[in-house]
Structure 1
Amino acid sequence: MTKMTAASRFDALVSCLRGRPPADADWVGVVEEANRYLVVPAVRAALAGWAGPEVPRDARDYLDFIHGRNHERNLRLRAQAVEAVEALNRRGIVPTLLKGACTLLTAAEDRLGDRILCDLDILVPEDGVPAALSCLSAIGYEVQPGEAQDHAPAALARRRDVGMIDLHVRPPGPARFHHPGRLARSGRVLAVGATGRAVLPSPEFRALHLIAHDMFHDKLYLSGDFELRRLVDLDGIVKAHPGLDWKEVAALLDGRAARHALEAQLVALRSLLGANVPAVPLSHAVPHFQHWRRLQQARHPGFRTFLRGIYRSSRRLGGGGTRGLLTEPPGGL
């Protein structure tokens, strides 16, 4: 094995996430990079069917260990989610699952350890917040001070649990991307545990929530950073739902910056993970520049300040309206 640069570590990690590890990979560097992006279990899942050159035993053992521990943690998180949903149901509240909670409650048993989850994101109607807080308090949850946000009025925790519950009244990101009526109509009711029910958003809304969270709530569109963990989640939605309607996602994201953010994620999905998503025309310069910038910052962390300066200077570039946003990839979706 050869010592890797930051650029080659990032590229090797991306190759592993596509299920094709480089033959000369520095596995210490790859694992360090995977830990930085919280995708070690995803790497292990991606390499499950690899039949090429053998991955070193110590690297395999580490990937297996982290995946196994994450599987155990997610089993506890899932039990926690089931209990919370059933408690809310008893008060007449059918919550909507957001982000990782969707994966947690729909994943096959053997895939439950593939994703690292930080907490449980559950949405309730704004007028249902007092009742939701009351019933969650009745099963031992305590509101955590200093955690309230405009979209999530409370974060709740219990000492015995492995994660908090973030109680939302809308998903993270700008309020104009919420579309509560369309969200409710597009979702389906999911059976949770023995008696529970929760709303599972449509694949289009699940993609919307991940993009809005990353690019606007976490401000990655401005900072030019990758959140590979959620990019892998997007890729998982694409694989599970090959008919996903990206034009609907585009319609839910209004404004030029939102269009650019969506297109930048589509470029990243195709370029990094080989996802079958719509191609973004090269004439749409801003998302392609954004992707180039994000790649350079991931590969060369020391250049981040310089590249951010270039981006600020380039924001006068716009180009294109909101029509003709997406083109079909070969074969269509």
Structure 2
Amino acid sequence: MTTTLTKKDINSPLIVNQPEIELLLCCARSQVDEQTKVKIKNLVNQDLNWELLLEIGERHGLIPLLFYNLNKLCPQAIPSNIFSSLEQYFQAHVRRNLLLTAELLKILDIFKNNNIQAIPFKGPTLANYAYKNLTLRQFCDLDLLVRERDVPKIINLLTSLGYELPSPIAEIEQKPYLQYKNFLESKEIQRKYDFIHSQKQIAIDLQWSITEKRLNDFFKLDLEYLINNSQLTSLGGAKVAQFSLEDLLLYLCFHGSKHCWSELKWVCDVAELINNNPEIDWQKVEAQAQKIDCEKILELGLWLAYDLLQANIPKSIIASLEKNLRVQWLAQQSYRSIFERPPEELNKYIFISSLKSNISTQLVYFLTMLTTPTAKEWNYLKLPKSLAFLYSLVRPYRLFVEYFNSKKI
């Protein structure tokens, strides 16, 4: 952005009925119906705080869609400095997306020649699959899901292409807690590697599990199932493996839920996947959600996509969700996360655990989150290695102190 944004606290309350938010919601879609077009044209003629609109759009990762629709529908109504800022941002974003897409296709081709099966998810494939347009979804890195047995070979291949893993010694010097396998940031829990190409400024998130270890029982779509159930989609003239539509919809609802839906782009992903892929098998989606105890996660994601962005969801499902008091309560918590501020850490875990219908799963998740130490605990209290086991007690203490302090504000 070339325009200097106001120094507004990013976590300060954002009122849902503000015209700036209404305009952002109207533009947060790749296809705009006639009624929404009229609303957009009326909104841009109001006395808008354009700087605030840019700030909110950037916070929620929706600048590409905002520019796309304003440029198409009413470019003359946008202040020239704001339009110029949006246009420059969009052009830089397009160049970046094309660079990442070309790099992804190059890497996948090398993997294929070395008999390595990989599924790229999020990033270019999500933009192409859900939005049907590489330029409308903002992403900053490449996410690849691979089998763990292929990781050593992949490390060699990516290294030969100029990618680097952080030096273990340097990492531990900078982040001593990484030597403890029970810390959230450890490889044992994250089950991924982060590669960086310093010249190209490209990051690759290489994962051999769809979730971190502590979420094993929370989202049970395992790697082999996802690979065996994947389907080919066209990307830049090549055929690329991708989650099936039904699996991707479940994953997007899970991904948004684990972040308490604090960014509108995650709601937009769900809505776009549904609107641009009418062949989704809803019976299969519901059956799979029931099988892995993700019904509430799915229902919440669908309701948010419908209520905020009018996603084209079957009427029978919407009628059921409207009467579902638990989903409506979860939606209200999500709206606070989106339009006011993300919840404190402890409230976040309470919210996520409430997405499960099985009480034992709720308790296991909550206790796991409560006792898995993170970098915050290390920064809160430095303990010698011989006392590292105490971090599982330091964590709940720090969380409760943070929670009660927030109530005093």
TM-score class normalised by the smaller sequence:
0.7 to 0.9
CA shift in 2, pair 1:200/1:135, >3 Å: same
SS of 2:51 mapped into structure 1: helix
1:94 pairs with one of 91, 114, 117: 117
Q: Quote the residue 2:151 is aligned against.
A: 129
Q: Quote the residue 2:220 is aligned against.
A: 177
TM normalised by structure 2 equals 0.64
Query: Matches of 1:315 and 1:37 in 2, distance apart?
Result: 24
1:206 pairs with one of 221, 225, 248: 248
> What does the per-residue CA deviation read over 1:247-270, in whole Å, with 9 as the maximum and x for residues that have no partner?
323333358973222111111101
Give, in angstroms, the shift of residue 238 of structure 1.
Answer: 1.2
The letter for the 1-side match of 2:200 is: D
Q: Quote the residue 1:323 is aligned against.
A: none
Give, in angstroms, the shift of residue 304 of structure 1.
Answer: 5.2
The letter for the 2-side match of 1:177 is: K
Q: Quote the residue 2:102 is aligned against.
A: 79
CA RMSD of aligned residues (A): 3.4
Query: Matches of 2:277 and 2:289 in 1, distance apart?
Result: 20
SS of 2:321 mapped into structure 1: coil
Matching of residue 273 in structure 1 with residue 324 in structure 2: no
Query: Matches of 1:269 and 1:152 in 2, distance apart?
Result: 30
Q: Quick one: percent identity of the two aligned structures?
A: 20
Farther off after superposition, 266-275 or 198-207 = 198-207
| Residues 123-272 of structure 1 aligned to structure 2 (within 5 Å) | 123-144=145-166, 145=171, 148=187, 150=189, 152-172=191-211, 174-175=215-216, 176-190=219-233, 198-216=240-258, 218=259, 220=260, 225-254=261-290, 258-272=294-308
CA shift in 2, pair 1:285/1:66, >3 Å: same
Matching of residue 114 in structure 1 with residue 154 in structure 2: no
Query: Matches of 1:169 and 1:317 in 2, distance apart?
Result: 24
Farther off after superposition, 251-260 or 7-16 = 251-260
Q: Quote the residue 1:30 is aligned against.
A: 53
Query: Matches of 1:274 and 1:281 in 2, distance apart?
Result: 14
Query: Matches of 2:131 and 2:299 in 1, distance apart?
Result: 30
The letter for the 1-side match of 2:309 is: L
Give, in angstroms, the shift of residue 16 of structure 1.
Answer: 3.0
The letter for the 2-side match of 1:62 is: S
Give, in angstroms, the shift of residue 30 of structure 1.
Answer: 1.1
The letter for the 1-side match of 2:257 is: M
Give, in angstroms, the shift of residue 272 of structure 1.
Answer: 0.7
Farther off after superposition, 42-51 or 271-280 = 42-51
SS of 1:166 mapped into structure 2: strand
SS of 2:210 mapped into structure 1: coil
Query: Matches of 1:282 and 1:106 in 2, distance apart?
Result: 28
Q: Quote the residue 1:6 is aligned against.
A: 14
Query: Matches of 1:164 and 1:34 in 2, distance apart?
Result: 24
Contact 1:121 1:165 in 2 (8 A): yes
Gaps of 5+ in 2: 1-12, 33-38, 172-177, 179-184, 359-409
SS of 2:27 mapped into structure 1: helix
Farther off after superposition, 262-271 or 165-174 = 165-174
Query: Matches of 1:213 and 1:141 in 2, distance apart?
Result: 27
Farther off after superposition, 267-276 or 205-214 = 205-214
SS of 1:177 mapped into structure 2: coil
Contact 1:207 1:237 in 2 (8 A): yes
Query: Matches of 2:54 and 2:145 in 1, distance apart?
Result: 34
> What does the per-residue CA deviation read over 1:73-123, in whole Å, with 9 as the maximum and x for residues that have no partner?
1111112112211221221113112122413566999x3322211211111
Query: Matches of 2:160 and 2:75 in 1, distance apart?
Result: 53
Contact 1:34 1:40 in 2 (8 A): yes
Q: Quote the residue 1:327 is aligned against.
A: none
Contact 1:68 1:113 in 2 (8 A): no
The letter for the 1-side match of 2:283 is: K
Give, in angstroms, the shift of residue 188 of structure 1.
Answer: 2.3
Query: Matches of 2:79 and 2:53 in 1, distance apart?
Result: 12
Give, in angstroms, the shift of residue 234 of structure 1.
Answer: 1.8
CA shift in 2, pair 1:149/1:243, >3 Å: farther
Matching of residue 288 in structure 1 with residue 325 in structure 2: no
Query: Matches of 1:211 and 1:205 in 2, distance apart?
Result: 10
Query: Matches of 1:149 and 1:247 in 2, distance apart?
Result: 36
Give, in angstroms, the shift of residue 42 of structure 1.
Answer: 1.9
Contact 2:233 2:241 in 1 (8 A): yes
Query: Matches of 2:130 and 2:340 in 1, distance apart?
Result: 35
SS of 2:202 mapped into structure 1: coil
The letter for the 1-side match of 2:14 is: A
Q: Which has the higher helix share?
A: 2
CA shift in 2, pair 1:77/1:57, >3 Å: same
1:41 pairs with one of 57, 64, 68: 64
Give, in angstroms, the shift of residue 134 of structure 1.
Answer: 1.5
The letter for the 2-side match of 1:251 is: A
Give, in angstroms, the shift of residue 180 of structure 1.
Answer: 3.6
SS of 1:276 mapped into structure 2: coil
CA shift in 2, pair 1:133/1:193, >3 Å: farther
TM normalised by structure 1 equals 0.78
Give, in angstroms, the shift of residue 318 of structure 1.
Answer: 6.5
Q: Quote the residue 1:329 is aligned against.
A: none
Query: Matches of 1:30 and 1:247 in 2, distance apart?
Result: 39
CA shift in 2, pair 1:241/1:139, >3 Å: same
Query: Matches of 1:316 and 1:84 in 2, distance apart?
Result: 37
Query: Matches of 1:168 and 1:317 in 2, distance apart?
Result: 25
